[in-house]
A = this chain, B = another copy of it.
Amino acid sequence: MDVENILRQSNLKITPQRKTILKVIAESDIILDSQEIYQESARLLPSINPSTVYRNLDILLQSGLICKINTQENSAKYRIREQGSHHHHIICKKCGTSIPLDFCPMEELDNKLEKIGFTPTEHRFEIFGYCQKCSK
């Protein structure tokens, strides 16, 4: 689906700025920080302002369209959140409910692993416990 319809589906107003920002994030094959998102957006839409980028990152996050990754570096990174993409689960030991997570620990480790020369191929991450209903 194209950026415009994705925004419509989330009941977000369609503005050139918002479309550009989401497009930049969606079409990047690497995770980007706010600076990079601003810079690339400004290349496509020179009049765009950093505040607009920050504000839209918040809105897109809240709408669940993007994910925020906290890396080793000092600025947060963002990536598109595609349904059906790689993800992990929280699993309730009582009722079996499986809640998908929008967080993958690998994203924070890629730098570190590269430094020690380790080439990851698979990983496993699962959280077990009790969901809200079953903890009561």
Contact = CB atoms under 8 A, between A and B. Distances in A.
Nearest to A136: B117
A118 B129 contact: yes
Copy tally for this chain in the complex stands at: 2
B118 A109 contact: no
Given A70-B71, A72-B70, A121 B93 contact: yes
Interface residues of A, number: 36
B127 A106 contact: yes
Contacts of A90: 113, 118, 120
Nearest to A103: B109
Nearest to A127: B123
B122 A135 contact: no
Nearest to A126: B124
Contact of A118 (B106, B125, B131): B131
Interface string A86-124: 000010110000010101011011001100111111111
Interface of A: 68, 70-72, 74, 76, 90, 92-93, 99, 101, 103, 105-106, 108-109, 112-113, 116-132, 135
